[in-house]
Amino acid sequence: MDFAFLDPGASDLVREPRREPSSDNRLAPKAVVGRVSLYLRQLEAFQRQGKTTVSSSLLGEALAINNAQVRKDLAFFGQFGYPGIGYRIEELIAALRHILGIDRDWPLAMVGLGNLGRALLKYRGFRSRGFHIAALFDNDPAKIGEDHDGLIVEPIEAMPRVVAARHVSLAILSVPAEAAQRVADQMVACGILGILNFAPVPLSVPPAVNVVAVDLSVQLEHLAYKVQNTQGGISFAGSTLRSHRDSLE
């Protein structure tokens, strides 16, 4: 096995004997889950480069995240390292894909075929992470019946039948703000358990339903604030080490 790229310092390597991933059912904090996604993408990049093992130091360095944070994040889900070796990339990729739930296929419903919905429909990155759009819905008579790569836009009233038939539990909501809560209620009634909400309003859903909000204007405001508070090319945070952490908090 090639260890040439491991850090020479023993302190950077995992010391404890390897254990199986944790069976703890606690939900990880949002920031931790976000960083796990980053770790997975970087591990896949290392794998494409032909590497087979990696230390927390090198994984963190590639993402501008402290190596202690890397170890802490991974330890939330279990112990995946080997003494004197670090992390075996193939094994850790499999473990992280399982943790994130992308070691299976996730059919999605897309509700709202406006400009944003159409742009999301063309995004090819979903499929590589285990997601595929399996149903399209809109309430515009001009859009109902349209064919998008073999998927027919259905009226929202058809959602209960289509969602059940295609075993959909996740949905992307990209409707105007004034319609978002009403459509979300219909989604919940159909059995949707997770909503990626692009409408710029908060949604009220039962505790068993998860919502992740994506408000692009809020993200731009965050970016504008950072740029406005940048002086001499140095972030107000004083360190580029915070770049990924800031984006996840």
State residue 238's pLDDT score.
41
Helix (H) or strand (E) holding 152: strand 151-155
State residue 216's pLDDT score.
86
Q: Determine the Cα–Cα distance for residues 105 and 15; give it in Å rounded to an integer.
A: 35
Ramachandran quadrant class, 201 (left: phi over 0; alpha: psi -120 to 50; beta: rest): beta
More confident residue, 130 or 8: 130
State residue 26's pLDDT score.
78
Fold annotation for 106-214: Rossmann fold (3.40.50)
Q: Determine the Cα–Cα distance for residues 81 and 142; give it in Å rounded to an integer.
A: 55
- Looking at the chain, which residues constitute the CATH 1.10.10.10 domain(s)? 10-100
State residue 12's pLDDT score.
40
How does residue 150 score in pLDDT terms, banded at 50, 70 and 90? very high
Cβ contact 246:237 at 8 Å: yes
Q: Which residues pair with 81 in a beta bridge?
A: 87
Give the C-alpha distances (Å, rounded to integers) separating 55 from 63, 141, 167, 220: 13, 55, 40, 34
Which among 20, 75, 63, 67 has a CA at the least distance from the CA of 39?
63
* Tens-digit pLDDT profile for residues 165-196: 999 999 999 999 999 999 999 999 999 999 99
State residue 229's pLDDT score.
87
Helix (H) or strand (E) holding 194: strand 194-197
How does residue 24 score in pLDDT terms, banded at 50, 70 and 90? low
Cβ contact 57:12 at 8 Å: yes
DSSP character at residue 153: E
- Looking at the chain, which residues constitute the CATH 3.40.50.720 domain(s)? 106-214
More confident residue, 7 or 184: 184
Cβ contact 53:92 at 8 Å: no
How does residue 76 score in pLDDT terms, banded at 50, 70 and 90? very high
Comparing 4-18, 28-42, 62-76, 117-131, which segment has the lowest mean pLDDT?
4-18
Q: Work out whether the CA dihedral 35, 39, 45, 49 comes out positive or negative.
A: positive
Q: Please calculate the CA angle 9-15-21 and round it to the nearest 5 degrees.
A: 130
Fold annotation for 10-100: Arc Repressor Mutant, subunit A (1.10.10)
How does residue 232 score in pLDDT terms, banded at 50, 70 and 90? low
Q: Determine the Cα–Cα distance for residues 1 and 80; give it in Å rounded to an integer.
A: 18
The alpha carbons of the chain give a radius of gyration, in whole angstroms, of: 21
Question: What's the pTM?
Answer: 0.76
Averaged over 60-68, what is the pLDDT?
Answer: 95
State residue 248's pLDDT score.
54
Tokens of 144: 């109902």
Tokens of 47: 């794998």
* Tens-digit pLDDT profile for residues 220-231: 998 999 898 876
How does residue 133 score in pLDDT terms, banded at 50, 70 and 90? very high
Share of residues in the chain with pLDDT > 90 (%) = 71
